[in-house]
Structure 1
Amino acid sequence: MQVIPGSVHIPNASQVLAHLTSKQIDLGSIWGQGMSKKSDASDVLGNSPSHGVIAREQAPRYQFLAPQFDNLPEELKKQPRWVVWRAEGGAGLKPTKVPYDPTLSTYRRASSIDPQTWGTYEQAVAAYMEGGYTGVAIVLDGDGIVGIDIDHCMIDDEPSLPAMSLMHKLGVEYIEVSPSGTGLRGFGYAEQLQKGVSGNLDGLKVELYSNKRYLTITGRVLKSGPFARLNGFTDLANTINANKVSKPAGVTATGTQEERLADWMGQVFSGDFYHDSLRNLAGSFIASGMQPGAVVSSLRGLMHSSRGRHDDRWKARMSEIPKLVDSAVKKFSPEVVDHSRLLRPTANAANDSEPTTRFKVLTAEQMAQAEFIKWTIRGLLPQIGLAALFGPSGSGKSFLTLDLSVSIASGVPEWYGMRVTQCPVTYCVLEGEGGMGKRVVAWEKYRGQKMPDTLRFIAQQFDLTVATDVEELAIAIRSAGGANGLIVLDTLNRATPGSDENSSKDMGVIIANTKALQQLTGGMVLLVHHTGKDESKGMRGHSSLFAAMDCVIGVVTGKGLSWTVAKSKDDVTGTLHGFRLEQVVVGEDEDGSDITSCVAVSTAPAFAQCGSKKLGQNQQIARDVLCDLFNCNPDGLLITYGAAYDAVADAMDVEPKRKRERAKKTIATLARYGMIEMTDTHIKRLPALGD
């Protein structure tokens, strides 16, 4: 029997490449999605060691039957409602069968209610044969074809007598084995149900569907007759529903912990019960030591895969997931580390041998010999890490980001006076995607040259908080030659739909998955982001975002446009670089009017040139003193001229009689650099001043 490996086996810890917050990613998941050999997964994701991932040993391995296309029923082959599917899921959890559009060469999820994501039988077979998928499936759309699913009724590769008796009673003439090899699936003709039914009947787990559902197909036939009109299909659905109503809420699962988890997940997946099942799952995951952010992301992923209608009830339960996890943390989170276990003597202690550990303790001399930071843009963007470029709406930050991206991809000698090291760039256009084509034309026309092939664009939408989206994005970038380069996500808000940027938990998921994307692809990930309502406070959202960045670039508005380094690990901040938006005509519309776009062009002020990029000694002293004064004020924004002049003068190492005059001139210079604003009565802090 040909089988396809499932998505939860982790061969060993060295093969695990990243831990996505919402799901574990492992090579087993890549194989389970249909790749033809193990080396394919290694080639796609690289062969680097584990990036701080906790690997699970002896995880269960799920297997799926490969479809036998010659045996599939003609009644289904002629329907234009086919999709392909992949087994996806976290390590140690039962995989979910996720549907995909068979008509595209790139992965796009299919929907049982969107015909634009379906294809013909021939297209589904072709997509499956190309690799990357676990099987094929048919969408039911209420045209009279119905499906019956009976789970866990195969014993030693033979169907149980109760299961076959139920099929016989209904008059099912086409019966096959489900992809797991443990259940039965039948098809026939019957009246449409108001909604799908899932429940227990005489010890059997039975599901009945007629519309807005997709059912996987294997062709592993037990009975291959033509589709027949079924007897009592609606009556059976009513009986199953009556059995469910006669029980309590239905979410109090019994049995082993694994069985309880399976029941709760099944109730969410079917759409029968949400709140109590999500609450119980949150408590179980938190009690096991799972991080709260990972629990939130996992439960959201489970809700997205639910077969229930994504209506107002579904949205309400989705929105309350963070609160359920917060409650679970307060009740079940393990807070005490078992020090006795950590300090327990080892078997080798008597021999004075050192215990084996993955941590290496270095001396100061060894640390000093560590490799220095390698830069993509010297003093600005490291080759590896996370960065952000932020600014208010309409400040030209996307034009500036595009100019930065082209400069890196083409390997120009310098960008704003800073040395550039060439690398591939992948620009994810998630906001204003309709205008990116005009921006490309404008840049090429203004510069008089074509953009390099090492700059690639991705215009499809994705969700950075969904693990499978991050996995697929990483695979696409590496496959296109973008590994160890720069990845631009423009903007962060559009890359994380539905997330609360001010929530520490949501932002924790965003940061963790951004790091996972960076680890899967190498290089640098640059997030284009907005300022909040108060522009002086920098990037919008939770402060953990700023803390997680290796570099933060802020666009400053006021007297013209400029950008500054708001944060740089291991290099200076505070330098200001002016630029302007140059309008370029890129074509004409149908009325003969000009179609225009813009290009970010350096205004090359003296303080932005290569030889004098950094603040002078007195300017740096004045900046630090002013920061301290602003931070001591309740509003953090305004200080008086007298207080500023006195404090800066006292800090300067100049002749006493010249201190105040020098302080005034230095503060005025910082104002020209756009770091402060000198009003009629006060000195006002601007974002370029930094913290």
Structure 2
Amino acid sequence: MATKLRPLSSVRPVLNNKYLIKGWLDRGAFSVTYGESNVGKTFFALDLSLHIAASHDWHGCKVDGGSVVYVAGEGGSGVLNRIEAVKREHPDLIAAASENGFSLLPTVLDLCGIGDAGALIEALRGAVPVLIVVDTLARAMGAGDENTATDMGAFVRNIDAIREATGAHVMVIHHSGKDASKGARGSSALRGAVDTEIELTRTDNVVMAETRKQRDMPCDKVFAYTLRSVFLGNDVDGDAVTSAVVEQAEAVSKKIRVSGQQKIALQALADAMAHHGEKKHGDMFPQTRQCVPLVVWRDYCDRHSLSGGEGESTRRTAFHKAKNALQEKGIVRVVDDFAWRCEE
């Protein structure tokens, strides 16, 4: 231990980090890519993985690549068709990835229990992968509960053991929680352990990949893409079989999402505005929009049955919760007990 002590005068900056994708992923680190179901997480992860295996720049970002192992725990034949779609549209990328070493492991691993992490390490003995993708966390939890810190802690320890033994960066594909603003689903022990978080969200047909956490890098990267359909052939019934490939797109403004109760509160506000809206004068109020007293808005919320309860306290709590959420999202403003809609 004494030999590891370093006086402050000997500390120097590290100017050259070892990266896989510059600004996105560091070598030997731990990342999570998450998003809602069917947002295109596997398409994104495969596109990124193939560029790393091919050592090709990833949509304008520098890549220092190497061999990749992709653990496909879900998707069935879907992952095979997705790779085939890339092969048909980008044969040079597939050729380079094949030459440098891209391996698919279409099986379910239990990385919460004992045994499978060691088996994977043993299977990769002698190999030097720079990236291992686990798709998805839910399929790799075995009998574990992703919502408990104990089971998530066991999963993280197995990921760390794989990283330590192989030297690889491990990326885990995961789902968003019910409240997307709170990040990936399950125990917060996962977020505390990862070095990088990438969130995928869809607006119309454009998917946005954005860094939400970077332990040692600026957290400001955005990659927008669409999924372009690729025809693969016909099945036994003569129906077309298709998959898709990632195609870079222009970033778009996200649509603000509102919950069921927030939608009810907005409809109540619109009705209240139609019957009781008034222009307010002063620097704090909008010059081109009508306002309505909070007490009137709340009365209309009660008439719209915002709260399922009958008690005054329940109705009051439901109104304040919806009002505050809409203010935080920038949809509604409240000044001097008057409310108005900011964004249509």
TM-score (norm 1): 0.36
Alignment of 1:124-139 (within 5 A): none
Structure 1, residues 308-364: CA drift from partner, whole Å, max 9, x if none? xxxxxxxxxxxxxxxxxxxxxxxxxxxxxxxxxxxxxxxxxxxxxxxxx36722233
Counterpart residue number, 2:219: 573
Counterpart residue number, 1:533: 178
Q: Which amino acid aligns with 2:182?
A: K
Counterpart residue number, 2:302: none
Q: 1:408 to 1:402 in 2, by over 3 A?
A: same
Q: Which amino acid aligns with 2:240?
A: D
Match of 1:475 among 122, 126, 139: 122
Alignment of 1:666-677 (within 5 A): none
Q: Kindly state the Cα deviation for residue 641 of structure 1 after the two structures are TM-superposed.
A: 6.8
Are 1:585 and 2:228 matched, yes or no?
Answer: no
**For 1:467, what is the secondary structure of its paired residue?**
coil
Q: Kindly state the Cα deviation for residue 544 of structure 1 after the two structures are TM-superposed.
A: 1.6
**For 2:125, what is the secondary structure of its paired residue?**
helix
Match of 1:432 among 75, 80, 83: 75
Q: 1:640 to 1:486 in 2, by over 3 A?
A: closer
Match of 2:160 among 497, 508, 515: 515
Percent of aligned pairs with the same amino acid:
29
Q: Which amino acid aligns with 1:392?
A: E
Are 1:599 and 2:245 matched, yes or no?
Answer: yes
Q: Which amino acid aligns with 1:382?
A: D
Are 1:638 and 2:282 matched, yes or no?
Answer: no
Are 1:457 and 2:101 matched, yes or no?
Answer: no
Match of 1:399 among 43, 46, 52: 43
Query: Would the aligned equivalents of 1:638 and 1:682 in 2 still touch at CA under 8 Å?
Result: no
Q: Kindly state the Cα deviation for residue 513 of structure 1 after the two structures are TM-superposed.
A: 1.0
Q: 1:637 to 1:422 in 2, by over 3 A?
A: farther
Q: 1:640 to 1:436 in 2, by over 3 A?
A: closer
Are 1:411 and 2:101 matched, yes or no?
Answer: no
Q: Kindly state the Cα deviation for residue 575 of structure 1 after the two structures are TM-superposed.
A: 3.3
CA RMSD, 1 decimal? 2.7
Structure 2 CA distance, aligned partners of 1:470 and 1:383?
20
Structure 2 CA distance, aligned partners of 1:520 and 1:682?
54
Are 1:548 and 2:193 matched, yes or no?
Answer: yes
Are 1:681 and 2:341 matched, yes or no?
Answer: yes
Q: Which amino acid aligns with 1:473?
A: L
Counterpart residue number, 2:31: 387
Structure 1, residues 383-436: CA drift from partner, whole Å, max 9, x if none? 111001111100001001000000000011x21321111111000000113211
Q: Which amino acid aligns with 1:681?
A: R
Q: Kindly state the Cα deviation for residue 518 of structure 1 after the two structures are TM-superposed.
A: 0.7
Q: 1:497 to 1:359 in 2, by over 3 A?
A: farther
Q: Kindly state the Cα deviation for residue 446 of structure 1 after the two structures are TM-superposed.
A: 1.4
**For 1:518, what is the secondary structure of its paired residue?**
helix
Are 1:420 and 2:80 matched, yes or no?
Answer: no
Counterpart residue number, 2:130: 485
Q: 1:407 to 1:641 in 2, by over 3 A?
A: same
Q: Kindly state the Cα deviation for residue 579 of structure 1 after the two structures are TM-superposed.
A: 0.3
Q: Which amino acid aligns with 1:638?
A: E
Counterpart residue number, 2:294: none
Structure 2 CA distance, aligned partners of 1:487 and 1:636?
41
Alignment of 1:14-93 (within 5 A): none
Counterpart residue number, 1:368: 12
Query: Would the aligned equivalents of 1:416 and 1:604 in 2 still touch at CA under 8 Å?
Result: no
Q: Kindly state the Cα deviation for residue 634 of structure 1 after the two structures are TM-superposed.
A: 6.5
Counterpart residue number, 1:3: none
Q: 1:532 to 1:477 in 2, by over 3 A?
A: same
Alignment of 1:294-309 (within 5 A): none
Q: 1:640 to 1:562 in 2, by over 3 A?
A: closer
**For 2:230, what is the secondary structure of its paired residue?**
strand
Q: 1:441 to 1:565 in 2, by over 3 A?
A: same
Q: Which amino acid aligns with 1:532?
A: G
Q: Which amino acid aligns with 1:583?
A: S
Tell which has more relative contact order, 1 or 2 (C-alpha 8 A, sep 6+): 2
Query: Would the aligned equivalents of 1:426 and 1:477 in 2 still touch at CA under 8 Å?
Result: no
Q: Kindly state the Cα deviation for residue 635 of structure 1 after the two structures are TM-superposed.
A: 4.8
The structure number with the bigger radius of gyration is 1
**For 1:478, what is the secondary structure of its paired residue?**
coil
Q: 1:417 to 1:636 in 2, by over 3 A?
A: farther
Query: Would the aligned equivalents of 1:638 and 1:683 in 2 still touch at CA under 8 Å?
Result: no
Q: 1:682 to 1:521 in 2, by over 3 A?
A: farther
Structure 2 CA distance, aligned partners of 1:637 and 1:473?
49
Counterpart residue number, 2:320: none
Q: Kindly state the Cα deviation for residue 478 of structure 1 after the two structures are TM-superposed.
A: 3.0
Q: Kindly state the Cα deviation for residue 373 of structure 1 after the two structures are TM-superposed.
A: 2.4
Q: Which amino acid aligns with 1:573?
A: C
Q: Kindly state the Cα deviation for residue 640 of structure 1 after the two structures are TM-superposed.
A: 4.1
Structure 1, residues 483-504: CA drift from partner, whole Å, max 9, x if none? 2410000001101122111101
Q: 1:518 to 1:593 in 2, by over 3 A?
A: same
Q: Kindly state the Cα deviation for residue 586 of structure 1 after the two structures are TM-superposed.
A: 1.0
Structure 2 CA distance, aligned partners of 1:532 and 1:642?
25
Counterpart residue number, 1:96: none
Structure 1 CA distance, aligned partners of 2:326 and 2:111?
34
Query: Would the aligned equivalents of 2:332 and 2:343 in 1 still touch at CA under 8 Å?
Result: no
Structure 1 CA distance, aligned partners of 2:217 and 2:42?
24
Structure 1, residues 563-596: CA drift from partner, whole Å, max 9, x if none? 1111112222243221001111111111221111
Structure 1 CA distance, aligned partners of 2:26 and 2:122?
23
Structure 2 CA distance, aligned partners of 1:529 and 1:561?
16
Q: 1:448 to 1:604 in 2, by over 3 A?
A: farther
**For 1:555, what is the secondary structure of its paired residue?**
strand
**For 1:423, what is the secondary structure of its paired residue?**
coil
Q: 1:439 to 1:367 in 2, by over 3 A?
A: same
Query: Would the aligned equivalents of 1:428 and 1:489 in 2 still touch at CA under 8 Å?
Result: yes
Q: Which amino acid aligns with 1:495?
A: A
Counterpart residue number, 1:205: none
Q: Which amino acid aligns with 1:514?
A: I
Counterpart residue number, 1:120: none
Query: Would the aligned equivalents of 2:113 and 2:154 in 1 still touch at CA under 8 Å?
Result: no
Structure 1, residues 17-66: CA drift from partner, whole Å, max 9, x if none? xxxxxxxxxxxxxxxxxxxxxxxxxxxxxxxxxxxxxxxxxxxxxxxxxx
